[in-house]
Amino acid sequence: MTTHSLKQEIDFLLVGRNQEILERDAQILQETGYGNIRIVRSGIEARNLLKDMNVHFVVTEWRMPCMNGIELLRLIRRTSGLSDIPVLMTSDNRHRDMVLYAIDEMVDGYLAMPYSREDLLHAVSAVRKRKQLSPLQAGIRQARHFVLLKNYDKAIEKAKEILGHDPKNTDALFVLSESYYWLRDLDKAKQFLKAYLQENPASGKGMHLLSKVCRLDGQSGDAFGLLLKAHKENPLNIDLTIDLGKFYLEMNMEDNAREIFNLVMSSEPTDLNLIKIGKALLKKGRAEEAAQYLDKTVHPLPETVYIFAQLAEMLEKGGNHEASARQFKRCLALVPDHPEYLVRLGEVLARQGKGR
């Protein structure tokens, strides 16, 4: 028996803050004939469940603390074994930019709140129909899988095969762009990204990737201009906003960076947003400022513990033993009994005169 078959099967995973809405939606789906339904109250809980169970459909609210719906969607799309799961996004925001942002991150459906029983069932049905793949779409799925597995040569081969049938297929163009970026063939990455952006001129992820390509190619001015344009076209994309702030930091444009980070703080930042800002400030050696952001995180992922450890080390080198000890304790809360962090905490406490 395979490991896959041992996992519990979940028809629907419902993710959101409002227990009443989640329970109502679960009842609607159960009455329609779906039996295995799970409810979780955060993106973090959803992430943990997705690792351990076979989930066939995700309905997630956009606005959630710690990890929001768009971050959960991005995690699903960028994880081998999860990337094909249908995702329906719900939100109380009907703004066109929100919908376009979700589409850019490959959401399968978008449902504005409040919605009725009929709205939910219609949206689920529409998503299921879209998931019935044509041969071309099946090829795109295969190409994306190759990218996730870091088999970029195979991804390129499959994407070019698709372009042979459909020369303007944007999914294939993006697969080629991404694959050549990771292979560091920057000229070809630019070539296919420009073709992609001709078809999708407002794509935040397209401009963001082209900015990274230009930066690697030593074209900092072009990279910065693309980030500015991407931010203007996609103001709701917080990752883009933070990257713009990071760019300002690296150019020593402190006031601009501060303005950007303040903008992020006014838009319900998630733990991942806060950690990204903290990491950028640590790179500039600004431990005290980084701590102001990192201390605001609520349930950071264990995978991010190295950021808190880096902060602890930097605070220790700066002579702030008390703050360093506090950060090492946080590391141990994320990864209990980690030997390296236990030793370092003991050393810091000893310097404070608190060691045994």
Question: What pLDDT score was predicted for residue 356?
Answer: 43
Range of the domain at 325: 301-356
Helices (H), strands (E): how many in the chain?
Answer: 19, 7
Count up the domains in the chain and report the number.
Answer: 2
Going residue by residue through the chain (356 aa), what tens digit of pLDDT does each one get?
344 457 789 999 999 999 999 999 999 999 999 889 999 999 999 999 999 999 999 999 999 988 999 999 999 999 989 999 999 999 988 788 888 889 989 999 999 999 999 999 999 999 998 877 788 889 999 999 999 999 999 999 999 999 999 999 999 999 999 999 999 999 999 999 999 999 999 888 999 999 999 999 999 999 999 999 988 888 888 989 999 999 999 999 999 999 999 999 998 899 999 999 999 999 999 999 999 999 999 999 999 999 999 999 999 999 999 999 999 999 999 999 999 999 999 999 998 875 44
Q: Kindly state whether residue 329 falls inside one of the protein's structural domains.
A: yes
Domain limit, last residue, from 70, 97, 130:
130
Q: Kindly state whether residue 80 falls inside one of the protein's structural domains.
A: yes
Q: Kindly state whether residue 257 falls inside one of the protein's structural domains.
A: no
**pLDDT tens for each residue of 125-138:** 999 988 777 888 89
**pLDDT tens for each residue of 196-247:** 999 999 888 999 999 999 999 999 999 999 999 988 888 888 989 999 999 9
Domain limit, last residue, from 110, 130, 150:
130
Beta strands, E only, the chain: 9-10, 12-15, 37-40, 54-55, 58-61, 87-91, 109-112
Can you give the CATH number for the domain in which 341 is found? 1.25.40
- Name which of 205, 202, 203, 160 is nearest 180 in CA terms: 160
Q: Kindly state whether residue 295 falls inside one of the protein's structural domains.
A: no
Q: Kindly state whether residue 28 falls inside one of the protein's structural domains.
A: yes
CA atoms within 13 A on the CB side of 314: 19
Tokens 């030593």 — which residue? Answer: 218
Q: Kindly state whether residue 70 falls inside one of the protein's structural domains.
A: yes
For every residue of 169-219, DSSP letters joined together read -HHHHHHHHHHHHHTT-HHHHHHHHHHHHHH-TT-HHHHHHHHHHHHHTT-
Q: Kindly state whether residue 342 falls inside one of the protein's structural domains.
A: yes
- Name which of 202, 97, 77 is nearest 145 in CA terms: 77
Entry pTM: 0.86
Question: What pLDDT score was predicted for residue 132?
Answer: 79
Q: Kindly state whether residue 113 falls inside one of the protein's structural domains.
A: yes
Question: What pLDDT score was predicted for residue 99?
Answer: 87
Cα 170 to Cα 84, 104, 337, distances in angstroms: 18, 11, 47
Distance CA(206)–CA(108), nearest Å, equals 19
Domain limit, last residue, from 70, 98, 130:
130
